[in-house]
Amino acid sequence: MLYWALIFLVVALVAGVLGFGGIAGASAGIAQILFFIFLVLLAISLVAGLMRRSR
């Protein structure tokens, strides 16, 4: 999922450089959402791993 966030970030940067503001904004928004989803899944995975070790 982090891969897709980086892809959308690159698309947003390229679109911004070329002057496509709407596309750049949408791609940046999607990249930001995917990045935060990735962070939440990472935190859940870390907590689950710590709980599994403690048992």
Tell me if residue 55 falls in helix, strand or coil: coil
Instruction: Say if residue 55's pLDDT is above 80.
Output: no
Spatial CB neighbours of 5, under 8 Å, sequence gap ≥ 6: 31, 32, 34, 35, 38
Dump pLDDT digits (tens) for 8-39.
888 888 888 888 778 778 888 888 898 899 99
Instruction: Say if residue 51's pLDDT is above 70.
Output: yes
CB 1 within 8 A of CB 31: no
The pTM assigned to this predicted structure is 0.66
